[in-house]
Amino acid sequence: MMDLLIPDKTHDESRQGEALMLKAEAAKNNGRKLYIESYGCAMNFSDSEIVASILAERGFETTPDYSVADVIFINTCSIRENAEQRVRNRLKEFTVAKVKNPGLVVGVLGCMAERLKSKFLEEEKLVDVVVGPDAYRDLPNLIDRVDDGQKAVNVLLSREETYADISPVRLNSNGINAFVSIMRGCDNMCSFCVVPFTRGRERSRDPKSIVAECQDLFDKGYREVTLLGQNVDSYKWKSKAEGSESDAISSVSEAETNFANLLEMVALISPDLRVRFSTSHPKDITDEVLYAINKYDNICNYIHLPVQSGNSRILDLMNRTYDREWYINRIDAIRRIIPDCAISTDVITGFCSETDEEHKDTVSMMDYVKYDFAYMFKYSERPGTLAAKRYADDIPEEVKQKRLTEIVAKQQEYSFYRMQARIGRVERVLIEGFSKKSDKDYCGRSDQNAMVIFPVGEGYKPGEYVNVLIERSTTATLIGRVV
Ligand code: SAH
Ligand code: SF4
Ligand code: F3S
């Protein structure tokens, strides 16, 4: 309301002032080069594009070569001990570059920055900036401080920040698929997981800004968007719609957008825009979402539904808030509502106190679902999490490894089984580019997210859809020809 009292002129003036300041800053940084490297989940890769955009406005250009950079950022992941180790190793290489070029700014962004905060500056003396995932708007200011010879830290988490108004600069893009963040943070407290601590409270982004970003991508030639959140099924946006003036008191009605609604809104942009999403949570995925997927051909028939464990006692200790029966019920619902839907998962082996019998329940879950794909991990205790506080990390490394090896082998079988089942079928493929191995072949993904390889030919090119008859497969790839 206060805003209404400020005369328009002041608004204009302050906007002009802002624009001038931006211009001056952009001029100051003109030509400075930013190198940014990302680790961890898609969310981090998507955040790096927001960072690039914030700094592009201030005159920074991104470079794919860190040896010519003036600013090096590493966007980090804390999910497992070895993820952090990788980052530390890489940081050593960057700090060697810093010794050669003392003017170089080295910054740590993302989840490790949030987890370790200013401790990072004590541990890694050559790091100049530490910035958490909700503080990226402050980056220009933090870089200024480093330019003035100080160290800079901002790890404040926010309940509102969604970077909704920032149009990401697409990094390493093929111009065909793009990630679009629809929410940030996570309110689930899975006992093993560091994400709620590094990314803060869950908040959803205004659907209008999501649809506008997807529409813009489509207009620029992109043909696939992946909507990102730690738990997309709990996406929720309440918008206050103004009613008529005569009905002053009840004039504010609240319209709510849930994930199923959002999927539909994005799907309606164009039948030629494929819509994917990640990650779904078994406790929250509704039949309404499944019906939405089934209703639109361009919402891909592929769901990533992390199970973590097939045993109800372990799921309880993990605080996943579903049990084995509930998970199976969700799998059955997917099979019933979406014929021909691929399903992938995440599994953790050797969680605190897991017995051999309980591990077998995970194996039998894999037998039940026959996942198309799985990401499998050994439990890695993370400081500060509920599990670290409450339970002993008591499964010996060899046992964790043995269980992991067993499920990896099992998954290989099922991946191959799922791939083989596609032989003789015709898949609609969005061409992404040349295959990794040969520029005589194109590659692209099927609706079910399988990688498909087929010979380059006349009349089709990357960014277009083709029908491919599948003739053979490996465990990870379908091979065929355009029909
Ligand atoms: N939001 C997603 C998962 C994000 S983290 C979800 O709820 O499913 C990605 C995966 O990393 C998790 O699904 C889990 O399998 C794994 N993971 C997370 N914390 C881990 C830990 N402490 N040790 C081993 N694996 C872990
Ligand atoms: Fe972590 Fe659980 Fe949130 Fe996923 S849902 S990010 S596993 S706390
Ligand atoms: Fe890693 Fe943070 Fe993503 S811990 S998995 S980068 S949310």
Which alpha helices (H) appear in 57-193, and where do they start and end? Answer: 81-100, 110-116, 119-123, 139-147
Task: Name the burial class of residue 126, with classes exposed (0-12), middle (13-18) and buried (19+) by CB atoms within 10 angstroms of its CB.
Answer: middle
Helix (H) or strand (E) holding 431: strand 426-434
More confident residue, 425 or 25: 425
Domain span(s) for CATH 3.40.50.12160 in the chain: 20-154
Residue type present at position 83: A
Q: What is the DSSP letter of 439?
A: T
- CA distance linking residue 100 with residue 103, whole number of Å: 9
Is pLDDT at 253 greater than 80 in this prediction? no
Helix (H, G, I), strand (E, B) or coil at 103: coil
195 lines ligand 3 (CB under 6 A): yes
Tell me which residue of 197, 46, 192 sits closest to 117, measured CA to CA: 197
Q: Which CATH number fits domain 20-154: 3.40.50.12160, 3.30.70.2750, 3.30.70.20, 1.10.3720.10?
A: 3.40.50.12160
The answer to whether 203 and 184 are in contact (CB under 8 A) is yes
Q: What is the pLDDT of residues 9-46, one digit of tens each?
A: 445 556 676 677 677 777 777 789 999 999 999 999 99
Does residue 400 contact residue 436 with C-beta atoms inside 8 Å? Answer: no
Query: Is-contact 114 194, C-beta < 8 A?
Result: no
Question: Per-residue confidence at 5, pLDDT binned at 50, 70, 90?
Answer: very low
**28-42, 209-223, 248-262, 391-405, range with the lowest pLDDT:** 248-262
Report the pLDDT value the prediction gives residue 6, as an integer from 0 to 100.
36
80 lines ligand 3 (CB under 6 A): no
Read off the pLDDT of residues 263-288 as tens digits, 9 standing for 90 and up: 999 999 999 999 999 999 999 999 99
**How many helices (H) does the chain have, and how many strands (E)?**
16, 21
The whole-chain average pLDDT of the chain stands at: 93
Q: What is the pLDDT of residue 3?
A: 34
If you write DSSP's letter for every residue of 110-149 in order, what string do you get?
Answer: HHHHHHHTTHHHHHSTT--EEE-TT-GGGHHHHHHHHHTT
Ligand 1 atom nearest to CA at 230: 1
Phi, psi of 168 (to 5 degrees): -60, 145
List the beta bridge partners of residue 453. Answer: 443, 479
Q: Report the C-alpha gap between 222 and 123 in whole angstroms.
A: 42
Listed in sequence order, the DSSP H helices in 308-396 are 312-317, 324-337, 356-369, 386-390
Across the range 408-416, mean pLDDT stands at 98
The pLDDT of residue 15: 64
The whole-number pLDDT of residue 241 equals 63
Q: How far is the CA of 78 from the centre of ligand 3 (A)?
A: 6
- When pLDDT is averaged across residues 50-55 and rounded to a whole number, the result is 97
CA distances for 264 relative to 84, 299, 433, angstroms: 38, 8, 28
Lowest mean pLDDT among 96-100, 159-163, 181-185, 292-296: 96-100
- Residue 78 beta carbon below 6 angstroms from any ligand 2 atom: no
Every domain of the chain with CATH number 2.40.50.140 lies at 426-482
Ligand showing the shortest atom-to-Cα distance for residue 385: 1
pLDDT computed for residue 384 by the predictor? 96
What token pair was written down for 369? 């679902």
Query: Do 359 and 410 form a contact (C-beta atoms < 8 A)?
Result: no
Record the tokens describing residue 28, joined without a space.
């100051």
Instruction: Give residue 456's region: left, alpha or beta (phi > 0; psi -120 to 50).
Output: beta
Q: From the CA of 286, how far away is ligand 3's center (Å)?
A: 25
Question: Residue 39 Cα, ligand 3 centroid: separation in angstroms?
Answer: 8
The CATH number of the domain covering residues in 426-482: 2.40.50.140
Higher pLDDT, 100 or 296: 296
Count of positions (residues) in the chain:
483
Q: Which range among 247-261, 297-311, 441-455, 463-477 shows the weakest confidence by mean pLDDT?
A: 247-261
From residue 245, give the alpha-carbon distance in Å to each of 3, 242, 251: 20, 9, 7
CA 219/CA 238 separation, integer angstroms: 28
Percent share of the chain, pLDDT over 70: 93
> What residues does ligand 1 touch, defined as CB less than 6 Å away?
79-80, 192-193, 195, 230-231, 279, 281, 306, 308, 346, 348, 377, 379-380, 382
pLDDT of residue 416: 98
Q: What is the pLDDT of residue 126?
A: 86
Tokens found for residue 339: 């014929």
**pLDDT interval class at 239 (50, 70, 90):** confident
The residue among 70 and 16 whose pLDDT is bigger is 70
Q: How is residue 460 written in tokens?
A: 């089709």
Residue nearest to atom 21 of ligand 1 (CA): 380
